[in-house]
Structures are given as structure tokens and as C-alpha cells.
């Protein structure tokens, strides 16, 4: 009886779609722009010819990187509900070189709009990551150096990364999400998408407890 139920669950999961997309800069995290009459801004529809899937969470228009889309409502709920927190990892280019004391503030949590953020994993990247240049490029000032840091958060407040780095005095210049839970941006170029693999799906199911 148990084996038959397991087989049935597998078939149910295979009936859903799970896509990974590398969202470029200035692309809206939605499939329509009906609320933006006359807008020339691109949406997910310009890149993903799959109907019925929806983004799990959001990336702001000025952010880049990994986006998970699915038509599996229970999985989507587990990933965006703050009760079932899961890691999200970002590579962040900031203005000036943050000190270890500043990074420690991010690790311990900072106060945003009256609430302290949860503890985060934060480290400075020793080398600039090999991302394609952004179009349009970030603002550049010869007299002001920049640095890249990695931040792994267990929550997803509105524009949280940008607000956190601003609080400690190192404004975000470029923000790229590189991981959602066990899913990675590796192998995708800006504007590309793919189905997740069976192994990725199984690991995601275990993480979400479904």
C-alpha cells in the first residue's frame, strides 16, 4: 500500500512544471503589463513561452538573477510563507569597501522600519564574480571603490537586501540572486530558462516537507 502511494505522489509532482529563469535587469517579474499602458518595459512573457506558471516570490525590476516559476500551489506556498523560511543567496555589489564590523552588523540583523532582520550569513567575495556586464551599466565613480558581498537570508522582505546595506552605509549598486534553497543560477545566462531536474525537484520537496 505504501509503495503504491509513493508512486502516485511521484506522478502528481511530474504533472506540475518547475522552471528556473535568469531574470535580466529591468524585466518586470510578471507576465502582463496591462497596468503599465504604453510601457516598453519587458515582462516574463518576453522570455518564457510557458502558460500557467507563476513566479515564487519576486525580484525587483532593478534586480537580477534566479527566479523559480511553477504551477504547484503547495510548493509555492511553502517557499513564500515566512513560517517555512528557506535560504536565499544574493551576490551584492556595494559602494565602497565594507569593514568587517559592518558585515557583522548584517550577520546579526539590522533594524528596518522598526523591525530587526533575522541573522544572515554574510561574507565578502575576494574576486569580482564573472557576471555579464549590466545593460545599462551601474553608475561608476573613479574616486569611489566597490566591493562584492554574499548574503544568505532566511526571509524575504520588500527590497530587504538594498535596505540592509543602506542601513550600514554601503548602498547596493547591483543585486543578483544566485540561489533559492538548493536551486542555483549556475549554467544559465541572462534571459535563459530551463526545467529543474528530477534530483533538484526531489531535494526541493524534502526541504519544503511535501
Catalytic residue among 35, 46, 60, 135: 60
Residues 6+ apart with CB under 8 A from 144: 95, 96
Residue 139: CA count within 13 A, CB half-sphere = 9
Is 135 a catalytic site residue?
A: no
Task: Answer for the pair 176, 22: CB distance below 8 angstroms, yes or no.
Answer: no
Q: Distances from the Cα of 92 to the Cαs of 89, 99, 161, 194, in angstroms?
A: 10, 15, 8, 24
| Grid cell for residue 136 | 545599462
Q: Distances from the Cα of 191 to the Cαs of 20, 96, 127, 185, in angstroms?
A: 11, 29, 24, 12
Q: What gap in Å lies between CA 202 and CA 187, rounded to an integer? A: 20
Catalytic center residues: 60
Amino acid at each position: 500500500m505504501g509503495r503504491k502511494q509513493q508512486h502516485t505522489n511521484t506522478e502528481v509532482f511530474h504533472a506540475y512544471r518547475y522552471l528556473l529563469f535568469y531574470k535580466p535587469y529591468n524585466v518586470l517579474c510578471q507576465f502582463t503589463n496591462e497596468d503599465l499602458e504604453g510601457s516598453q518595459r519587458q515582462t516574463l512573457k518576453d522570455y518564457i513561452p510557458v502558460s500557467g506558471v507563476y513566479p515564487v516570490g519576486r525580484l525587483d525590476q532593478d534586480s537580477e538573477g534566479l527566479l523559480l516559476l511553477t504551477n504547484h500551489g503547495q510548493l509555492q506556498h511553502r517557499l513564500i510563507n515566512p513560517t517555512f523560511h528557506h535560504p536565499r543567496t544574493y551576490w551584492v555589489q556595494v559602494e565602497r569597501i565594507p569593514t568587517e564590523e559592518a558585515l557583522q552588523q548584517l550577520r546579526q540583523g539590522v533594524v528596518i522600519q522598526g523591525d530587526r532582520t533575522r541573522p544572515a550569513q554574510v561574507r565578502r567575495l575576494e574576486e569580482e564574480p564573472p557576471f555579464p556586464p549590466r545593460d545599462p551599466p551601474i553608475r561608476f565613480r573613479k574616486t569611489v571603490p566597490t566591493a562584492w558581498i554574499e548574503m544568505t537570508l532566511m526571509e524575504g522582505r520588500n527590497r530587504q537586501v538594498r535596505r540592509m546595506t543602506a542601513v550600514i552605509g554601503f548602498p547596493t549598486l547591483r543585486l543578483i540572486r544566485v540561489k533559492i534553497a538548493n536551486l542555483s543560477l549556475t549554467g544559465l545566462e541572462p534571459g535563459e530558462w530551463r526545467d529543474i531536474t528530477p534530483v533538484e525537484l526531489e531535494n526541493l520537496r524534502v526541504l519544503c516537507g511535501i
